[in-house]
A and B are shown apart, each in its own frame.
Chain A
Amino acid sequence: EAQVTQNPRYLITVTGKKLTVTCSQNMNHEYMSWYRQDPGLGLRQIYYSMNVEVTDKGDVPEGYKVSRKEKRNFPLILESPSPNQTSLYFCASSWAGGNTGELFFGEGSRLTVL
């Protein structure tokens, strides 16, 4: 089954404790992206990657890092989480064959930073 898998789905952590949210897709997509969803704000792009070893900032990259060492994986790293990073995070992927806006989303990771 074609899917985007995120882990963990739920996480409660404390300020300053480094964490990683993993994202893996099995569709051989070149393009991957991270979004955060906050009430009243919709989804905002954090980082994206056009292919292996190619990443770039989205609209709200502060406090986050990403890496793309393999095509299927695109982890989101919070080096020193803060309470304002409490949010619902989504990973998404698509093929690079056309700029069509058709993204495949994971089920989301709800992060709470105390």
Chain B
Amino acid sequence: AQSVTQLDSQVPVFEEAPVELRCNYSSSVSVYLFWYVQYPNQGLQLLLKYLSGSTLVKGINGFEAEFNKSQTSFHLRKPSVHISDTAEYFCAVLSGGYNKLIFGAGTRLAVHP
């Protein structure tokens, strides 16, 4: 069964600093990987996705992620964060069912001034 592990439950960072949110997946077949963001009191929205092709994927709000097959990782990065990036971030993998996503436990990013 496919699974996703987010290695950090909380990541505090100062404004304008770089950040990396770590995600590892387990799968023996081709993977489709996603990052979703949940702002306070809102639903989730798609940040970026990897389906195939280039391993470096760019998303909205200046975020990017790199698919690393050998390390089974899909870490999310941003070179300079803003206060408005404070949110919970979920890594997910597309499972065997149609449009069924398996989510990680989430990483809470707190950006401080």
Enumerate B32-59 residues with CB–CB distance to A below 8 Å. 32, 34, 41-46, 49, 51
Residues of chain A with a CB closer than 8 A to B63's CB: none
Contact B98 A107 (CB under 8 A): no
Task: Across the interface, name the chain B residue whose C-beta is closest to A105.
Answer: B43
Enumerate A29-82 residues with CB–CB distance to B below 8 Å. 31, 33, 35, 40-45, 48, 50, 58
Interface residue ranges, B against A (CB under 8 Å) = 4, 9, 32, 34, 41-46, 49, 51, 90, 92, 94, 97-101, 103-106
Interface residue ranges, A against B (CB under 8 Å) = 4, 31, 33, 35, 40-45, 48, 50, 58, 90, 92, 94, 96, 99-103, 105-108
> Given A94-B99, A101-B99, A102-B49: A41 and B105 within 8 A (CB)?
yes
Contact A90 B94 (CB under 8 A): no
Contact B99 A42 (CB under 8 A): no
The 8 Å CB contact of A48, one of B51, B90, B97, is B97
